[in-house]
Structure formats: structure tokens, C-alpha cells
Structure 1
Amino acid sequence: MRRILVYGVTGSGKSTLAALIGRRLGLPYHSIDDLMWRPGWVPVPEAEQRAIIKELLAGDEWVIDAAYGFWHDLALERADLIVGLDLPRHRSYGQLLRRTVTQVVRRTPTCNGNYETWRLAFFSRESMLWFHVHSFARKRRRMRLWHSSPDFPETVLLRSRAEVHRWLAALPALDERS
């Protein structure tokens, strides 16, 4: 397990888990949102995203926290392991709602120096909350397909916070490996 894709719906905790996996295993963690969004919420063009991701994934070791639909094929070609956060909708949406409100109130940067605003978070088609509602079923189907098919890298589905904690604790810590 040297190339790991952490996948799940918006708000499921992908970035947090990917960073923890990276630290635990001594692998470089890459925040995909930081690579795919420029300041001012300007998206990196799709062709450029594919080039950035292809270069990143060419490395022998990495942990990434997403796989955007128009380049997830690149991640699937290289990943040794997919960790799917298959949490119930109420859990991931609740986490996303809390995170969004906290980031707006505290003016915490979301990614690459970008900030959520009340208008963006709650009254825009660009809202992560809106995106969660409209992408939940599709992302869940995708990770369950990956899990059930031998045509994809090994896929672990974690369906609760307790499962996430148990799975992470079972990974060999950097100082435990020889």
C-alpha cells in the first residue's frame, strides 16, 4: 500500500483521513482541492487537471483525498488501495454542514486560500451542500462497484466513524515497520 486513494461523498472526511493515513504510513499526502482550485474559486481547466494529476500519480508513493470524475480513471490505474468512506447520508451531510458553518463564521480558508461565504455555502448552485445532495448516490454507487469488482484496485469500504478509527488503528505505524 504505497498509492492510496481515499474516496467518498462531499463532507465524508476524505481529507482528514487521507492526511492521517499519510502520517501513519509515512506517505506524501496531496490535497486534491488545493490542486484543482485557484484563488477566487477559479477551477483549473479539465485538461490541465488531468496533466497535474497524471504527473502526481506517476510517483511511487502518494495518498490523495479525491478522484474527480473526469480523471478518476488515472487514479484507478495507479492506486494500490481505495479507501471508500461509505457513511450514511445523514452523517456525511451533518459533518459537511457543521464544517461549512464553522468555516464561514471563523473565516477559515477552505482550499488554496479560498473562503466559503454564506451566499456561496447556502444560496448557490456551487454550494458544497447542494453538491453533496446531488452527487451522493452516484459516488456511493461508484465506490460500491469498485469494492465488488475484481477489475478495480482493492477497495475497503468504511461505513461508520468507528470502522474508520479501527481500520486506521490497525495500519502499521511508521515506526512499527521494518
Structure 2
Amino acid sequence: MNRIALIGSGGSGKSTLAMDMGKILDIEVWHLDAILWKPNWILTPREEQKQIQSQLVNRDRWIIDGNYQSTLDIRLEAADTIIFLDMPRTLCLYRVLKRRLMYHNRSRPDMQSGCKEKIDLQFLKWIWDFPSKKRPQMQQKLANLSMDKQIITLKSLQEVKRFLASMKDQV
């Protein structure tokens, strides 16, 4: 595992897993939320997003977490390992609400400064609808990838813990 893409719903644990894996494997971690959102929640234009990600995936080793459907193929094609965090929506919603309370009126460590933690109904609805609307699209994309990619789907906190433990044993 040298080029790792982490995908999944908001609140699924992508950033946390990316940081944990980065420490274990000694690979630089790139959080797309921190790269693509400018202060005050201004999103980088799509063409610039593509350029940024194309440069990142040309590196020898990386971990990139984030969905960003319009540029997902850039990461999936370049990755040797894709980890899909397919967590229950109730867990994802709980984590997002907890995160909002934890980082009230300030930015998370995996975000740009000036992007204070916020929640809106549209984001909560996106998380709730993820299993029925986004999961099938992601699963189809993963099924269409070449066979030389390692695709790992983790569906619970216990599976994530076992995955990290096995990774530590191999290093």
C-alpha cells in the first residue's frame, strides 16, 4: 500500500483513519477538505481541484481522504489501494453532530483555518441519503476498476480497529 484513497460518507471516519494509517505506514496524508476549501467555506473551482489532485497522485506515496465525486476518478485510477468506509448512517450522523460540538466556533485540524465547523440540513440529508444514493455509485465505480487494485470495504468500527491492528503487525 503506497497510494491509498479513502472514501465514504461524511462522518464515516476517513480523516481519522487516514491519520492513523499515515503514522503506521509513514506516508504523507492529504485531506481534500483542507486542500479544496478556502477560508470561509469558499470551494476551489473544479478545474483547480483537478490540477491539485493530479499533482498529488503523481507522488510515489500518498494517502488522500475525501469523496469529491467530480474528481474521484483521478484518485481511484492512481491508487493501488482504495478503502471504502461503508459505515452505518446513524454512526456517521452521530459523529458529525459530535464533531460539531467538539469544534464549535473553530476549524477542525483536517480543515483550513477560517472554515469553522458547521452543519446544515443539506449536509445531514446527504449523509442520511448516502446509503441509497451515493453508495451504489461508489460500488459501481469500484467494480469497474482494474483487478490490480486492492479494494477494502470496512463496515464497522470493529472492522476498522482490526484492520489497523493487522497493519501494525505487518509493519
- Match in the other structure for 1:130: 125
Q: Can you give the 5+ residue segments of structure 2 that lack an aligned partner in the other structure? A: none
Q: Aligned Cα RMSD in Å?
A: 2.0
Distance 1:30 1:85 in 2: 17
Q: Deviations over 1:43-90 (max 9, x none)?
A: 000000000000011101000111311111111111001111111111
Q: Are the counterparts in 1 of residues 154 and 160 from structure 2 also a CA contact under 8 Å? A: yes
- Match in the other structure for 2:160: 164
TM normalised by structure 1 equals 0.84
- SS of aligned partner of 1:7: strand
Pairing 1:74–2:74 present: yes
Q: Deviations over 1:97-136 (max 9, x none)?
A: 11123222xx23031011035xxx24x64xx323323444
Distance 2:138 2:158 in 1: 19
TM normalised by structure 2 equals 0.88
Aligned residue pairs total 167
Q: Can you give the 5+ residue segments of structure 1 that lack an aligned partner in the other structure? A: none
- SS of aligned partner of 1:49: helix
- SS of aligned partner of 2:7: strand
Q: What is the CA-CA distance between 1:148 and the residue it aligns to?
A: 4.5
